[in-house]
């Protein structure tokens, strides 16, 4: 504590944010000299990126400190978002956009008042950088993505922390600081090759290492119960066997147009400083040191699976390490206020992003019972009022379950607690539904298999939470009628709710699509971009949907973005330009970028492309002119991108097929560049920022009932792209919001999926003619002349293995809908542009700000802490 008489001196030297270009320049240069120990003579783009980031970070840290003080003083309910993945992407441009504040009472930092009219903090820095000899765009390119996530689930967490800060919620994210994020994808000879993601190679200016915050975490060992304590529900001692330290790294999360800067705390594993002297004395110094170094492996790498549970011990270790460290932190902060334990759920809400943090439920129960000596039932009441759980999938292979043996070995005390939680739960079920043994075994946290018993993490998460939510309406209905049906019976339907996903318009509109953002703010007369906080303002655009002058401007923006993507593709294609720039306005950019998964059906897309190609060739063979072909199959570029899990054979084969088709189609002179195919390697957040604004059409074509929500569908719509999609996930609500005239829906509905699958298994279903031709071409080696059988497994899955994802059932309707897309795009541009404008006008619902407000009101009961 600083003595009162010293405080005056502190205040005299109070740190200040930069507010003007000149102040920024001064900061920048001092960081070049002092932080980087460089100078005018050796400051390259990378150094400029680092000095800029350090300068911006200085501003953020001032607000970060004030925010934390304010939130502590106000003592409102705090929200903790636990996620094993935060797919943040780059931070600098986002910080520049969010930096401007509205409050003129802030004596420092760029505000609407200190900036020239219509200017932004980003513009100010751009100009300053130019004066310093740099181009902002080139400097921004230096930043590696923070790629601590696989796909939608991780990106959702990133959008959420942005909206939490923007909405001034006292909220922290908790995650892991992986040394390697999701692997970098290289495409070699058409195959995916994984290489490590060295994102921390150069120092990371966006993290603040809190070396003073180190939490000891135990694994293994055994449980000791004092003689006086007879049962497992009474306080017990867990004598841990292995100990590592969790060290905190904080990332400041700035809100948009608010001085609120929240915290994302990521843990990394370090060896303890306790030394094993017995080993040392045995002369086993080297071994002892090596064992300690292994601690670091816990946070070495992100598991690269999406929608799939692999069940590896190290993954379970990661989960406990992270849950235990985060809870320790949360409990420590709560205890400072000396409030009674019963008020814990009034002070704290913890949201579980999928089942990955389910052990936090067990850990809090352990802390309360074993360490704080609370009565079991009082403790459990606190636990269940604190947690809420978000489910992101209904697919069996993605639902986490851990072998009892493995869990009990790693966490012996936790397994006891899980058994007790289950025992009390089953007792309550038995009371409500006497003698229903089937029900008891169906809802038990323990799955009794013939071989091994498993802990079902989703069931544990439901039992330990007061709310369970799905991520889109259809999905939230589906979890109630399928995987969690029995729990609806046990708890009633009110425990289950829906919060439809959202995305942050700051990154996905303003940052990714500056031209569109500019056109919007100019058109709706909103020079300070307030629409980014209140997306209902976008409905103003509807007035101009058929305005020809406006349509032209709208289209010009799209063409600009398409050129930007074409440049990227050229660069990724070793400088070879496959897109004819003279015809770019009449070339439909058809994009599917997301993780490669059979359920997402990239195979349906590429089969559609092959069909188109075969039809074009057929026309030519039967004597049609190229103009006639172009009339029927107008210009199109089919763009794919996405990573496959390294061990996912079928997904990798799909990638190879796309690349093989590209090779043939792109080099077929006969079709005169009317069709092009490209696979964008290493799809990530920063590439998505270029790709998304450039789409005319994007594909969201999962088998109905399999995609919980999807979020890239929202991003594409927000950028004026139209969608071809199935009646699945958030596509349903997108249709409702933007109107069914403005989306191209096709395919079977989720209620028919079961029957269709049954038919494939037990009926002789025939394949559509067009699909047969496609499969025959693939089988003949048309795209793999050296190895005709290469794609056999893909064909077999449809022809002989029950076509689980119903590619054949949706094929004809997919192709017909693609024909309709061509019709509108090429024959009725005005209609197309109208659809595009109306889509953006009505996309407001899908802002993650709305989504966070719903969580706050219906699940957390938390309120914003507004800055004065």
Site mask for ligand GPU (CB under 6 A), range 468-487, x = bound: ---x----------------
Nearest distance from residue 693's CB to ligand GPU, in Å?
20
Of the two residues 675 and 723, which places its CB atom closer to ligand GPU in the complex?
723
| 560-579: contacts with ligand GPU (CB under 6 A) | none
**3-state class of 503 per DSSP?**
strand
Of 56, 79, 153, 176, which lies in the binding site for ligand GPU, with binding defined by CB under 6 A?
153
What number of CA atoms fall less than 13 Å from residue 476's CA on the CB side?
21
**Active site (annotated) includes residue 414:** no
Nearer to ligand GPU, 151 or 721 (CB): 151
Closest C-alpha to 699, from 748, 653, 755, 638: 638
Residue 435 known to be catalytic:
no
Nearest to 124 by CA among 64, 65, 66, 52: 52
Q: Can you tell me the distance from the alpha carbon of 177 to that of 248, in angstroms, rounded to the nearest whole number?
A: 9
Q: For the stretch 410-419, what's the b/e string if a residue is b when 16 or more beta carbons lie within 10 angstroms of its beta carbon?
A: bbbbbbbbbb
Q: Give the nearest distance from C-beta 360 to ligand GPU in angstroms.
A: 18
* Angle made by CA atoms 664, 668, 673, in degrees to the nearest 5: 110
- Of the candidates 340, 300, 252, 331, the one whose C-alpha atom is nearest the C-alpha of residue 61 is 252
Q: Pick the closer one to ligand GPU by CB: 507 or 835.
A: 507
Q: Which of 498, 504, 709, 808 binds ligand GPU (CB under 6 A)?
A: 709
Of these, 48, 327, 610, 708, which contacts ligand GPU (CB under 6 A)?
Answer: 708
Return the number of the residue (422 or 706) whose C-beta is nearest ligand GPU: 706
Token pair, residue 562, equals 């398409």
Is 66 annotated in the active site? no
The footprint of ligand GPU on this chain (CB under 6 A) covers a number of residues equal to 19
Distance, in Å, from the CA atom of 195 to the CA atom of 186, rounded to the nearest integer, reads 7
Establish if 398 lies at the interface with ligand GPU (CB under 6 A). yes
Cβ distance to ligand GPU smaller for residue 71 or 393? 393
Q: Which lies closer to ligand GPU via its Cβ, residue 375 or residue 397?
A: 397
- Whether residue 335 lies in the annotated active site: no
Closer CB to ligand GPU, residue 55 or residue 469? 469
Binders of ligand GPU in range 719-738 (CB under 6 A):
729
Closest listed residue to residue 460, CA positions, set 494, 415, 393: 415
Beta carbon nearer to ligand GPU, 152 or 412? 152
| Min separation Cβ 710 and ligand GPU, Å | 5
User: Using CB under 6 A, which of the segments 50-58, 117-125, 370-378, 702-710 binds ligand GPU?
Assistant: 702-710
- Annotated catalytic residue 552: no
Q: How far apart are CA 735 and CA 845, in angstroms?
A: 12
Q: Which residues, 6+ apart, have CB-to-CB distance to 51 below 8 Å? A: 28, 29, 31, 32, 35, 36, 43
Contact in structure between 860 and 164 (CB atoms under 8 Å): no
Label residues 732-752 b or e (16+ Cβ within 10 Å = b): bbbbebbeeebbbbbbbebee
Which residues, numbered 300-339, are part of the site for ligand GPU (CB under 6 A)?
306-307
* Minimum gap (Å) between residue 495 Cβ and ligand GPU: 19
CB of 85 to ligand GPU, least distance (A): 8
Please give the order of strands across the beta sheet that includes 208-219: 208-219, 242-254, 261-271, 171-176, 78-82, 348-353, 387-390, 467-470, 496-498
Q: Does 400 bind ligand GPU (CB under 6 A)?
A: no
For residue 710, state whether it binds ligand GPU (rule: CB under 6 A): yes
Q: Which two tokens stand for residue 7?
A: 């405080």
Residue of 257, 537, 643, 715 marked active site: 715
Compute, in degrees rounded to 10, the torsion defined by CA atoms 89, 92, 96, 97.
Answer: -10
- Catalytic entry in 600, 636, 643, 835: 600
* Nearest-approach distance from CB 754 to ligand GPU, in angstroms: 20
Distance (Å, rounded) from C-alpha 95 to C-alpha 728? 34
Q: To the nearest whole angstrom, how small is the minimum distance from the Cβ of residue 501 to ligand GPU?
A: 5
Q: Which window, 412-420, 485-493, 706-714, 815-823, contacts ligand GPU (CB under 6 A)?
A: 706-714
- For residue 759, the number of C-alpha atoms closer than 13 Å in the C-beta half-sphere is 12
Report the 10 Å Cβ neighbour count for 845.
18
Closer to ligand GPU by Cβ: residue 200 or 395: 395
Q: Where are the alpha helices (DSSP H) in 387-481?
A: 404-410, 412-432, 437-443, 457-463, 473-481
Rounded Cα gap, residues 511 and 517, in angstroms: 8
Q: Which of 77, 249, 392, 495 binds ligand GPU (CB under 6 A)?
A: 392
- Catalytic residue, candidates 523, 711, 726, 817: 711
Per-residue DSSP letters for 580-599? -GGGGGGSEEEEEES---GG
Two tokens, residue 657 = 């097929």
* Residue among 205 and 642 whose Cβ is closer to ligand GPU: 642
Which of the stretches 46-54, 523-531, 707-715, 812-820 binds ligand GPU when contact is defined by CB under 6 A? Answer: 707-715
Q: Of the residues 177, 265, 537, 594, which is catalytic? A: 594
What are the two backbone dihedrals, phi and then psi, of residue 474, each rounded to the nearest 5 degrees? -60, -45
Catalytic residue among 595, 601, 656, 676: 595
> Is residue 457 within the footprint of ligand GPU (CB under 6 A)?
no
DSSP-assigned letter for residue 466: S
| Identity of the residue, 262 or 713, whose beta carbon is nearer to ligand GPU in the bound complex | 713
Dihedral of CA atoms 844, 848, 849, 850 in degrees, nearest 10, equals: 60
Are the beta carbons of 391 and 479 closer than 8 angstroms?
Answer: yes
Instruction: Name which position in 501, 555, 602, 698 contacts ligand GPU (CB under 6 A).
Output: 501
Output the CA angle 126-132-134, nearest 5 degrees: 60
- Taking CB under 6 A as the criterion, the residue among 21, 60, 115, 156 binding ligand GPU is 156
Minimum distance from residue 769 beta carbon to ligand GPU (Å)? 32
Q: Which is nearer to ligand GPU, 500 or 523 (CB)?
A: 500
Residue 680 pairs in a beta bridge with 641
Interface residue with ligand GPU, options 71, 120, 351, 393 (CB under 6 A): 393
**Contact pattern for ligand GPU over residues 352 through 371, marking x by CB under 6 A:** --x-----------------
Strand partners, 191: 188
Q: Residue 253: which H helix or E strand, with range?
A: strand 242-254
Q: Which is nearer to ligand GPU, 479 or 637 (CB)?
A: 479
639: DSSP letter: E
How far is residue 98's CA from residue 170's CA, in Å, rounded to a whole number? Answer: 17
Stretch that binds ligand GPU, among 391-399, 742-750, 836-844, 852-860 (CB under 6 A): 391-399
705 belongs to the binding site for ligand GPU (CB under 6 A): no
Q: Which residue is nearest to ligand GPU (CB)?
A: 152
Please report which residue ranges of 524-599 form alpha helices under DSSP H: 548-572
In the chain, the N- to C-terminal Cα span, in Å, equals 26
**Window contacting ligand GPU (CB under 6 A); options: 4-12, 64-72, 118-126, 148-156:** 148-156
Smallest distance, ligand GPU to C-beta of residue 45, A = 33
Q: Is 392 annotated in the active site?
A: yes
Stretch that binds ligand GPU, among 59-67, 151-159, 431-439, 562-570 (CB under 6 A): 151-159
Residue of the chain from 151, 175, 190, 864 that contacts ligand GPU (CB under 6 A)? 151
What angle, 0 to 180 degrees and rounded to 10, lies between the N-to-C axes of helices 807-827 and 769-779? 100
Residues near ligand GPU, by CB under 6 A:
150-153, 156, 306-307, 354, 392-393, 398, 471, 501, 707-711, 729
Please identify every residue annotated as catalytic. Answer: 392, 594-595, 600, 711, 715
């Amino acid at each position: 504590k600083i003595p009162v008489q010293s405080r005056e001196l502190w205040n005299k030297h109070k740190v200040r944010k930069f507010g003007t270009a000149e102040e920024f320049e001064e900061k920048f240069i001092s960081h070049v000299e002092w932080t980087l120990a460089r100078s005018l003579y050796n400051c390259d783009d990378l150094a400029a990126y680092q000095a800029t980031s350090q300068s911006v970070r200085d501003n953020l840290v001032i607000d970060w400190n004030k925010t934390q003080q304010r939130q502590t003083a106000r003592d409102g309910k705090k929200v903790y978002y636990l996620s094993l993945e935060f797919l943040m992407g780059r931070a600098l441009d986002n910080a520049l956009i969010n930096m401007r504040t509205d409050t003129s009472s802030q004596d420092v930092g760029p505000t609407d008042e200190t900036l020239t009219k219509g200017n932004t903090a980003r513009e100010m820095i751009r100009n300053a950088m130019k004066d310093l000899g740099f181009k902002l765009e080139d400097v921004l390119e230096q930043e590696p993505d923070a790629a601590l996530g696989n796909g939608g689930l991780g990106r959702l967490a990133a959008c959420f922390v942005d909206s939490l800060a923007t909405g001034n919620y006292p909220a922290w994210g908790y995650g892991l600081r992986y040394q390697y994020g999701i692997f970098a994808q290289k495409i070699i000879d058409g195959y995916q090759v994984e290489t490590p993601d060295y994102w921390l190679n150069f120092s990371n200016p966006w993290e603040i290492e809190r070396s003073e915050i180190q939490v000891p975490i135990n694994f293994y060992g055994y449980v000791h119960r004092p003689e006086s304590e007879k049962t497992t529900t009474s306080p017990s001692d867990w004598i841990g066997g292995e100990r590592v330290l969790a060290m905190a790294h904080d990332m400041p999360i700035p809100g948009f147009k608010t001085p609120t800067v929240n915290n994302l705390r990521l843990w990394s594993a370090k060896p303890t400083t306790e030394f094993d002297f017995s080993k040392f004395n045995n002369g086993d110094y080297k071994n002892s040191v090596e064992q300690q170094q292994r601690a670091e492996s816990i946070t070495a790498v992100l598991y690269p699976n999406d929608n799939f549970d692999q069940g590896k011990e190290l993954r379970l270790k990661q989960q406990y390490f992270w849950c235990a460290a985060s809870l320790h932190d949360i409990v420590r902060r709560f205890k400072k206020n000396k409030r009674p334990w019963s008020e814990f759920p009034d002070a704290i809400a913890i949201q579980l992003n999928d089942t990955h943090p389910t052990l936090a439920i067990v850990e809090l129960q352990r802390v309360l019972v074993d360490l704080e000596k609370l009565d079991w039932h009082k403790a459990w009441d606190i636990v269940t009022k604190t947690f809420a759980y978000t489910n992101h999938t209904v697919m069996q292979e993605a639902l986490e379950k851990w072998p009892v043996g493995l869990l009990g070995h790693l966490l012996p005390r936790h397994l006891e607690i899980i058994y007790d939680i289950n025992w009390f739960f089953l007792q309550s079920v038995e009371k409500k539904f006497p003698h229903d043994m089937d029900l008891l075994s169906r809802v038990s946290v323990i799955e009794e298999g013939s071989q091994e018993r498993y802990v079902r993490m989703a069931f544990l998460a439901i039992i330990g939470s007061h709310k369970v939510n799905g991520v889109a309406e259809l999905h939230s209905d589906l979890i109630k009628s399928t995987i969690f049906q029995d729990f609806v019976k046990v708890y009633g339907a009110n425990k289950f709710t829906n919060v439809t996903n959202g995305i942050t318009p700051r990154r996905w509109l303003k940052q990714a699509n500056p031209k569109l953002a500019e056109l919007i703010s100019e058109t709706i007369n909103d020079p300070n971009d307030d629409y980014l906080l209140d997306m209902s303002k976008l409905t103003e655009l509807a007035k101009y949907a058929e305005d020809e002058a406006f349509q032209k401007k709208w289209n010009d923006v799209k063409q600009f973005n398409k050129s930007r993507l074409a440049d990227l593709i050229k660069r990724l294609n070793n400088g070879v330009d496959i897109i004819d720039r003279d015809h770019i306005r009449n070339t439909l950019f058809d994009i599917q970028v997301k993780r490669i998964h059979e359920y997402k059906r990239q195979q349906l897309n590429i089969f559609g492309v092959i069909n188109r190609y075969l039809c074009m060739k057929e026309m030519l063979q039967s004597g049609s002119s190229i103009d006639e072909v172009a009339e029927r199959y107008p210009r199109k570029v089919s763009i794919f991108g996405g990573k496959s899990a390294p061990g996912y054979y079928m997904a990798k084969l799909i990638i190879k097929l796309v690349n093989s088709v590209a090779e043939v189609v792109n080099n077929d002179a006969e079709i005169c560049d009317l069709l092009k195919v490209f696979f964008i390697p290493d799809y990530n957040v920063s590439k998505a920022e270029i790709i998304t604004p450039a789409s005319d059409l994007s594909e969201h074509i999962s088998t109905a009932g399999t995609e919980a929500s999807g979020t890239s569908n929202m991003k594409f719509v927000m950028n004026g792209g139209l969608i071809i999609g199935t009646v699945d996930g958030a596509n349903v609500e997108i249709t409702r919001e933007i109107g069914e005239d403005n989306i191209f829906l096709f395919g079977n509905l989720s209620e028919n999926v079961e029957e269709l699958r049954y038919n494939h298994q037990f009926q002789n279903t025939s394949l559509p003619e067009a699909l047969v031709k496609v499969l025959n071409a693939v089988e003949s080696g048309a795209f793999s002349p050296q190895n005709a059988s290469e794609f056999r497994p893909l064909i077999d899955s449809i022809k002989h293995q029950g076509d689980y994802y119903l590619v054949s059932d949706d094929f004809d309707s997919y192709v017909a809908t693609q024909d309709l897309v061509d019709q509108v795009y090429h024959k009725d541009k005005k209609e197309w542009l109208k659809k595009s404008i109306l889509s953006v006008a009505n996309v407001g619902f899908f802002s993650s700000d709305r989504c966070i407000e719903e969580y706050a009101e219906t699940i957390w009961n938390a309120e914003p802490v507004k800055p004065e």
